[in-house]
Structure 1
């Protein structure tokens, strides 16, 4: 985290057919902002039929990351309304973020769209 400045640093990581590509930069002394695109395809289960199908994703993602515990009450910041991801080892684990987003997509409600209808 010490190497992340206000100048955006680019990154790209791929797992399970999904790529997370974007930039991260320091917003305040303890908060970092990640702006990225989540893109790729995943095999999902249709919640109506139970059939497996492949769905393509391309969605923007903006995340806020804290260097340590984020205490909303002691912070005078406009970030109180956002969810903050806390990391404690002095580095941002982009692989963890990507896996969390993939699991979030898999847990969502999905309906297989019929082709050619």
Structure 2
């Protein structure tokens, strides 16, 4: 799903997209002439591999996601305006929401996962 930058205004534009058992839904709003803000929620289940046992398991996700999207090259010196390092650059005048969702899925898959344990548990920290 691609959304034209020119169609994003100061009033939020809603979107929703599903892939691999996860749904990304939320709003896009224009911050300035070059930057849009994605304020979304990642919800659903994703099949992962346990890094300890190698077993495949399903993990539930319900997380907020805030990203900034640049129409063209983002000047990193302007980063202080946003107080965020999460800027995605698109160069064709469109925001590709499917690309963003697939990137988030791949990022989750590349992270460290233990079957049956939650992030930040005391058992995981002691190992």
TM-score (structure 1 length as normaliser): 0.91
3-state SS, counterpart of residue 54 of structure 1: strand
By how many angstroms is 1:72 displaced? 2.3
Instruction: Choose 11-20 or 82-91, whichever is displaced more.
Output: 82-91
Runs of 4+ in 1 over 6 A off after TM superposition: none
**Match of 1:108?**
111
* In structure 1, C-alpha distance between the alignment counterparts of 2:86 and 2:79, rounded to whole Å: 15
Unaligned runs of 5+ in 1: none
Q: Does 1:16 align with 2:20?
A: yes
**Match of 2:61?**
57
1:30 aligned residue (27, 34, 37): 34
**Match of 1:40?**
44
Unaligned runs of 5+ in 2: 118-127
* In structure 2, C-alpha distance between the alignment counterparts of 1:76 and 1:53, rounded to whole Å: 38
TM-score (structure 2 length as normaliser): 0.84
Check 1:76–1:86 CA distance in 2 against 1; reply closer, same or farther (3 A cut): closer
